Structure 1
Amino acid sequence: MQNTINLRSNLVVFGLPLLMILSLVMLVKSSFFIPKISSFVVIDFLITIPLVYFLLIRKKNISNKTVFSVFMLGVLIASFTLPKENQQLLNTVKTFLIPIVEIGIIAFIIVKGRSVAKKINEINDYSLDFFDVINKVCKEILPSKIAGIFASEIAMIYYGLFNWKKKELKKNEFTYHKDGMAVSVILGFLLVVVVEMFVTHSMMKSGNVRVSLILATLSGYTILQILATLRSLVKRPIVIDVDNKELYLKFGILANAKISLHQIENIELSTKEIPEKSSIKFFSPIGSAGGHNLILHLKEEIKFNSFYGFTKKATSLAIFVDSRDAFVKMLNNTK
């Protein structure tokens, strides 16, 4: 009986906003649509529907963060539904309101992040770093998928432009960027982008100024991403939490995993080539190109975070650790 009531309640919560969206789409596509009501349609998509959704969920066990998703969905549907010549108000919102909202969210995340970081320092949880803190804060105030994107963007700026202080390793921290192939592969990507920028400069000389400016901006942004990734490899070592018996695997800002040491079945010392269809997954997002010298076989399947908040699953993980023997020894002694 209770399941039936919950089902009907959820149908109202999600069905009513969906019905409103479909009604607006049908109106815009019908012969009754006139350009004068375009602004009202935009207001319904961006204000009325999110407000109705908020009123429906405010007393339910549904996160208020999902209202932001409904708002962004409204922006997306309105962009594809309304005729281009009737999107004046929508374009204004995209130009001014959305950047203001984004800046506001980022500012709030930074303020909240400082508060969370202070609490972490108070409980002496040194296994967490800047990216972990920002990830945690973003997930508290944003939907999970959007949170991953925001956290990655903020971390990219942080590691790309700030935090130049040298990282001092503790006894339970291990690097993975010195002897492996990951840095070489990423530097190869950087070289490709730099070459592309020279091509862009040539296009500017030939008169394609607008296209070349867009490409130059994208290239500059990509270079910042690559530099941030390289620096984050140094700043985010693998951590063995001796007290809590947990392993924190990290690959810069591109991958993150927390594994209970009790979940590790065995540790295989191996550099052998791994077939494509193998159950063994590379922890590094660059796959076999980054190399590996260890395979962690787990008792059960785990989920771990990849770039921009995407998750992956694995029962065996291929990783690379510079001080492999010392790492394995500490793992075995801690388990």
Structure 2
Amino acid sequence: MFKLVGKSSFIYFLCASLFVYLIDLVLVRSALYTEHNQILTIGFALDFVVVLPILLYFLIYRKINKSIISILPFALLGYFALQLFIPAKGQGTLDWVKYLLIPLELTFLSYEIYKLHQLITHFRRNHFNNAHPLETLRKSMEQSFPHSKIAPFLIHELSLLYYAIFAWRKKPYLQPDTAAFRYHTNSNWLITILILSKILLIEGACVHILFMQWSSIVAWILSIGNLYIILILVADYRAMCLNPILVSKQVIRLQYGLQLSSYIETTNIESVSVIASKQITKDRMNTSFIPLVVEPNLRIQLKNANLVIRLFGKRQLVDQIYLFVDNPHEFRNACLYFMEDDSRP
């Protein structure tokens, strides 16, 4: 979102918010507040509940195509901040703000329920036999929230929970009339995960004890961050186990754990090469995919850039894809067979 909005918009919003807060802070601690506490409390309430959320909308949210109704939670957050900001003598004046926010928050809740109903409707419409549930969810969320920048990240987090916790009894996802290729059996990714998890657990416990002497909040934030990284590693490996690469005449369903997800048309493939090591220059890094840690043994060169979904829902256009596959020569032969078959009259 930072790149989409621009650095200047964030700076303007932060500066404006800080300016409003400092002015209000000076006034609330002045003798003027003692004489005119009701009027000034109303002014402070307008700043926290109306002015700052509107600034957020015009400087940031509008540029990422979010509706104005999405600032209502920030108006509620402003009200809670106001409770801490206003002295006891002015708390009674805040009741009107509370009664004003109740219908607004009910409106926001109704809007969210409507969007949830819309999501469920799209999910049922998109779901069909042998469909992958997460692909159905992604398609449904894109239809329900077409301009949302948070939806891809939310889908990534749901995928992470699905593979790390709920998919242990699931079978690998296969489709008829496709050749399936695994890419986790012969790699060192499982060993890497076990080593990293051990390091994160042991050193994380030591760091937690050390930081508890200084700040318990920081210690718990670091520990939760370590657990989150371990969860990503486990979910990535489970996604590899359950999602072999599927090659068919028309398209290649390419999901490489949580690291990459895409559909590549065989007509868009220029070449498939078995390689001994990745051969890539720095200027091609932004248009290439390379798996984490493992040394790739395959390179897919595309004719035109293809959209892929990477970790945390990041979208990227790539024209080179490096992979590690258990049987690279068989994968290459299958791709060439379908490419040649597709070129036949």
Mapped to 2, the partners of 1:20 and 1:214 lie a distance apart of 27
Q: Distance in 2 between matches of 1:327 and 1:105?
A: 45
Q: CA deviation at 1:285?
A: 4.6
Q: 1:327 aligns with which of 312, 318, 331?
A: 331
> Secondary structure at 1:327's aligned position in 2?
helix
Instruction: Specify the SS of the correspondent of 1:279.
Output: helix
**Counterpart mapping for 1:120-139 below 5 A:** 120-122=126-128, 124=129, 126=130, 129-139=132-142
Q: Which residue of 2 aligns with 1:194?
A: 201
Residues 236-284 of structure 1: CA distance to partner in whole angstroms, max 9, x if unpaired?
2222244xx1112112222212211111011111122424426376534
Q: Bigger shift: 258-267 or 318-327?
A: 318-327
Give the structure 1 partner of residue 101 of structure 2.
none
Q: Is the 8 A contact 1:181 1:291 kept in 2?
A: no
**Which residue of 2 is the match for residue 4 of structure 1?**
none
What is the TM-score when the length of structure 2 is the normalising length?
0.65
Q: Aligned-pair distance for 1:147?
A: 1.1
Question: Which of 49, 57, 67 is matched with 1:43 structurally?
Answer: 49
Q: Partner amino acid for 1:247?
A: I
Correspondence list, 1:101-120, <5 A: 115-116=121-122, 118-120=124-126
> Larger deviation: 303-312 or 256-265?
303-312
Letter in 2 for 1:198: A
Counterpart in the other structure of 1:140: 143
Q: What fraction of aligned residue pairs are identical, expressed as a percent?
A: 19
- The one of 137, 149, 158 equivalent to 2:153 is 149
CA contact (8 A) 1:50 1:71 kept: no
Which amino acid in 2 is paired with 1:333? Y
Change (3 A) 1:275 1:32: closer
1:224 corresponds to: 231
What is the alpha-carbon distance in structure 2 between the residues aligned to residue 328 and residue 26 of structure 1?
A: 61
SS state at 1:321 partner? coil
- Secondary structure at the aligned position of 1:249 is classed as strand
CA contact (8 A) 1:265 1:298 kept: yes
Instruction: Provide the secondary structure at the position in 1 that maps to 2:273.
Output: strand
TM-score, normalised to structure 1, is 0.67
Alignment correspondent of 2:240 = 233
Q: 1:213 aligns with which of 217, 220, 224?
A: 220
Output the amino acid matched with 1:306: R
Measure how far apart 1:315 and its partner are: 1.9
Q: Helix, strand or coil for the counterpart of 1:134?
A: helix
8 A contact 2:288–2:319 mirrored in 1 = no
Choose which of 253, 256, 260 in structure 2 pairs with 1:251.
256
Distance in 2 (CA, whole Å) between partners of 1:275 and 1:317 is 11
Structure index of larger Rg? 2
Counterpart in the other structure of 2:85: 86
Residue matched to 1:264: 269
Q: Shift in Å at residue 48 of structure 1?
A: 5.6
Q: Which residue of 2 aligns with 1:311?
A: 315
Quote the offset at 1:146 in angstroms: 0.8
Q: Give the distance between the partners of 1:249 and 1:115, measured in 2 at CA.
A: 27
CA spacing shift, 1:299–1:213, aligned 2, 3 Å: closer
Going from structure 1 to structure 2, the CA distance change for 1:194 and 1:22 (only over 3 Å counts) comes to closer
Q: Is it true that 1:292 corresponds to 2:265 in the alignment? A: no
- Give ranges in structure 2 of 5+ residues lacking alignment: 1-11, 29-40, 88-93, 99-103, 340-345
Separation (CA, whole Å) in 2 of partners of 1:188 and 1:130: 31
**How far apart, CA to CA, are the structure 2 residues paired with 1:173 and 1:227?**
22
Structure 2 letter corresponding to 1:262: T
Calculate the aligned-residue CA RMSD, in Å: 4.6
- Aligned partner of residue 217 in structure 1, secondary structure: helix
- In structure 1, list runs of 5 or more residues that go unmatched: 1-18
Q: Report how many residues are paired.
A: 290
3-state SS in 1 of match to 2:316: strand
Cα deviation 1:190-230 (Å, max 9, x = unaligned): 22211233314533785754443333333223322222222
Distance 1:27 1:63 in 2: 24
1:158 pairs with one of 144, 158, 162: 162
Residue 202 to residue 70, structure 1, CA distance change in 2 (3 Å) = closer
Change in Cα spacing, 1:333 to 1:144, as seen in structure 2 (3 Å) is farther
- Equivalent position amino acid for 1:150 in 2: L
Displacement after TM superposition at 1:75 (Å): 9.5
CA distance in 2, matches of 1:136, 1:291: 32
Residue 117 to residue 27, structure 1, CA distance change in 2 (3 Å) = closer
CA drift at 1:161? 1.3
